[in-house]
Chain A
Amino acid sequence: MEIRAEHSPDKSNIIIEKNKLVGIENETFQGLVLESIEKGSKNLIIDLAKVEYVTSWGIGILVHAYTTCVNRNVKFNITNVNENVMHVLHQTKLDTLFQIV
């Protein structure tokens, strides 16, 4: 699976195994986010280790997930962000919002 979730009692990891986050993964991605929240996780970590490139739509789906988390009182974190992706997050000022670990 290109996007998968790993759940542990204190957190949920959503790992994106795609090279390019286009945005078309939205349905699957949001599904996993909701699933994690429903399982009672208070901590969501999006792992972008394999992601080299994010399109503007891809950014949109991250924002969507972020909003969902904030609305449900779940911590939203992004980890393993590479240079390219960091650049975009910075440009869009999302680096001040997302917890980047």
Chain B
Amino acid sequence: MVKVSLQIDSFQEAFEVLSKSFTISQMINNFLQLLKTNFLPFDIYLFHRTSSDSEWTGIGEGIEKGNHDLSFLNKTSRQIDFFENNKYDVSVVLPLSDSSWLGILLKQKPDGTEFSDIDKITLLIFLQVFDSAHKAFLNQKKEKELIFELNEKIFQLNNLIDTGIELSKYEKRDVLFELALERISSLTNSSSALVKILNIKNNELVQQYTFPVGFSPEKIVNSPHKAEYSFNHFNFTYHFILSEKETRSGTTSFNELDEMLLSAVCRQVQVVIENEYLQQQNLEKEKMEKELNLAAAIQQKILPKELPSIEGYEIAGTNIPSKEVGGDYYDCIKLGDNRYALIIADVAGKGISAALLVNTLNAALYSYLEFNLPLTEMADKLNKLIFNSSPPDKYITFFIAVLNAKSGELDVVNAGHNPILLLRSDGTLEKIEAGGVGLGMLDFGLPFPGQKFMMNKGDKLFLYTDGIPEAMNEKEEDYSEERMINFFINHSKLPANEFIDLLVKDVKLFTGQTEQSDDITLLEILRK
């Protein structure tokens, strides 16, 4: 009885030890030790096979399959045999719950005792313990695997969310693609990954990144197991490739979940790229607006705040800037000695470059006028200056008339500008055409011929730029030079400032809702 109770303790212990083994082979080895301890008088030989079709493997040190008669284990179901006067005393064949088999051969040692009834029972119980422990072990293994799988899913989910956050971090934008590839490889157990950035139009490769860095892109493209995803943005195609999904035993193809994870991460990348693009656009827009504001400020500074009052004359002028600050300029500069310079100019182009060029003109003009140079010489100097201070395709159309207020003499130079209108008191209209090309156009020493006119009582001089004749309405029709001339003639009796106002109104009426594309600049002087 004592022996039995001792044995019961040892059964429980046996179960613990066996079920807590880390591997099957460890468990079977432990079982072997258990049997040896409990059946001291016997030699014990333990075998295991993974299925009914496979070969028996000997367990434990020093066991040589060849030395044993395995025909005793040739059974197709659970069997325990006790022999007398045979090679072995006991043979056990035990099928296990995972379709593997355990085989045991016991042989009484030369100095050992016989297999007793209690031994038989003990053996049977141990077999039972082993079977249960084996089941428990498998369950535990399954449980562990399940927990691992679950944790893996949680990890993937968390990784995915985390990835989205990481990718959109501003400080990570330089390594966007590297980071995306790292994350997606980790998420899907890829051996390697690649992203190619191609030009949409010609499919030329612009850039590519691999994970791990330095891995061959060709290997990835040519690998048998791949997952791919592409998207387009702006001028580029982004093509992601994952290669060789890993398992413990090698590589395999990607599954649906992997495709989902890939597309999720790629969409994250797409969002980041789009945001970056929009941000860039915004920045550029802001930059442009700043430029325009600056240009407008410059232009406003050089336009006259007030025109001088000239005895015996009426003078009025205005500049209505277009949305994109243009390069129109007008002025009436008192020269002393009862002389005045009336100027109108138009820079080719818009924006800050135009504004700066006008600024240069304005500054130079003031300086040259001080020196009382003949107009043609001044035009020549201005031409050189503008030519040298601007790109070859930029120029200024320029008209200057120096009025001797006492005599009414007009000294004029028209450099490539529109024909300036001189309306005589008797209704005849003279057009002062360009004598030379625009300032800054050419550097060949072409002359800017001057012209002389007389402004008599009742005569009117009307200076303007392109903005009026080229003003367009919704039907894309021009206001036209003709219409402007007619308006000028028909409203010539009006005081200068009223005429200016009315003409502007008429132009606005004509253009309607259409946005003003060019500066509207005009200057009128009439001799009373």
Are any A and B Cβ atoms less than 8 Å apart in their complex? yes
Chain A residues proximal to chain B, CB less than 8 Å: 23, 26, 55-57, 59-61, 63-64, 66-67, 70, 91-94, 97
Which residues from chain B contact A70 at a C-beta distance below 8 Å? 444
**Judging by beta carbons under 8 Å apart, are A93 and B348 in contact?**
no
B416 within 8 A of partner (CB):
yes
**Judging by beta carbons under 8 Å apart, are B438 and A67 in contact?**
no
Interface centre among A59, A93, A94 (most CB of B within 10 A): A93
A89 smallest CB distance to B (angstroms): 10
Q: Please, how many angstroms separate the alpha-carbon atoms of A67 and B390 in the complex?
A: 14
**Judging by beta carbons under 8 Å apart, are B393 and A56 in contact?**
no
Which are the 7 A-B pairs with shortest beta-carbon distances? A60-B393, A56-B348, A92-B416, A64-B392, A64-B393, A93-B434, A61-B393
Nearest to B418 among chain A residues (CB) is: A91
- Asked, given contacts A60-B393, A61-B393, A91-B419, whether A97 binds B349 with beta carbons under 8 Å apart, the answer is no
Which of A26, A56, A94 is close to B346, meaning CB atoms less than 8 Å apart? A56
Q: Please, how many angstroms separate the alpha-carbon atoms of A70 and B443 in the complex?
A: 11
**Judging by beta carbons under 8 Å apart, are B436 and A93 in contact?**
yes
Which residues from chain B contact A92 at a C-beta distance below 8 Å? 397, 416, 434, 437-438
Which residues from chain B contact A55 at a C-beta distance below 8 Å? 348
B441 within 8 A of partner (CB):
yes
**Judging by beta carbons under 8 Å apart, are B442 and A63 in contact?**
yes
Q: What 1/0 flags go to B414-451 for Cβ under 8 Å of A? A: 00111100000000000001111110011110100000
Nearest to A70 among chain B residues (CB) is: B444
Interface centre among A23, A70, A91 (most CB of B within 10 A): A91
B46 smallest CB distance to A (angstroms): 85
Interface size class of B (residues with CB under 8 A): 20 to 34
B395 within 8 A of partner (CB):
yes
**Judging by beta carbons under 8 Å apart, are B348 and A59 in contact?**
yes
Which residues from chain B contact A91 at a C-beta distance below 8 Å? 416-419, 433-434
**Judging by beta carbons under 8 Å apart, are A60 and B442 in contact?**
no
**Judging by beta carbons under 8 Å apart, are A23 and B434 in contact?**
no
- Asked, given contacts A56-B348, A60-B348, A60-B393, whether A97 binds B416 with beta carbons under 8 Å apart, the answer is no
Q: Please, how many angstroms separate the alpha-carbon atoms of A70 and B442 in the complex?
A: 10
- Asked, given contacts A91-B416, A93-B434, whether A67 binds B392 with beta carbons under 8 Å apart, the answer is yes
Q: Please, how many angstroms separate the alpha-carbon atoms of A60 and B350 in the complex?
A: 13
Q: Please, how many angstroms separate the alpha-carbon atoms of A63 and B444 in the complex?
A: 12
A57 smallest CB distance to B (angstroms): 5
Q: Please, how many angstroms separate the alpha-carbon atoms of A22 and B162 in the complex?
A: 50
B325 smallest CB distance to A (angstroms): 15
Which residues from chain B contact A93 at a C-beta distance below 8 Å? 416, 433-437
**Judging by beta carbons under 8 Å apart, are A60 and B418 in contact?**
no
Q: What 1/0 flags go to B46-65 for Cβ under 8 Å of A? A: 00000000000000000000
Q: Please, how many angstroms separate the alpha-carbon atoms of A19 and B176 in the complex?
A: 43
- List B482-527 residues whose CB lies under 8 Å from chain A: none
B284 smallest CB distance to A (angstroms): 16
Nearest to B396 among chain A residues (CB) is: A56
Which of B394, B419, B444 is close to A60, meaning CB atoms less than 8 Å apart? B394
B466 within 8 A of partner (CB):
yes
Nearest to A92 among chain B residues (CB) is: B416
Provide 8 A-B residue pairs closer than 8 Å at the C-beta atoms, listed in order of the A residue: A56-B346, A60-B348, A60-B349, A61-B393, A70-B444, A93-B433, A93-B435, A97-B442
**Judging by beta carbons under 8 Å apart, are A23 and B349 in contact?**
yes
Interface centre among A56, A57, A93 (most CB of B within 10 A): A56
Which residues from chain B contact A61 at a C-beta distance below 8 Å? 393
Q: Please, how many angstroms separate the alpha-carbon atoms of A6 and B98 in the complex?
A: 83
B384 smallest CB distance to A (angstroms): 14
B358 smallest CB distance to A (angstroms): 13
**Judging by beta carbons under 8 Å apart, are B419 and A57 in contact?**
no
Interface centre among B392, B417, B433, B446 (most CB of A within 10 A): B392
Which residues from chain B contact A60 at a C-beta distance below 8 Å? 348-349, 392-395, 441
- Asked, given contacts A67-B443, A91-B418, A93-B416, whether A56 binds B349 with beta carbons under 8 Å apart, the answer is yes
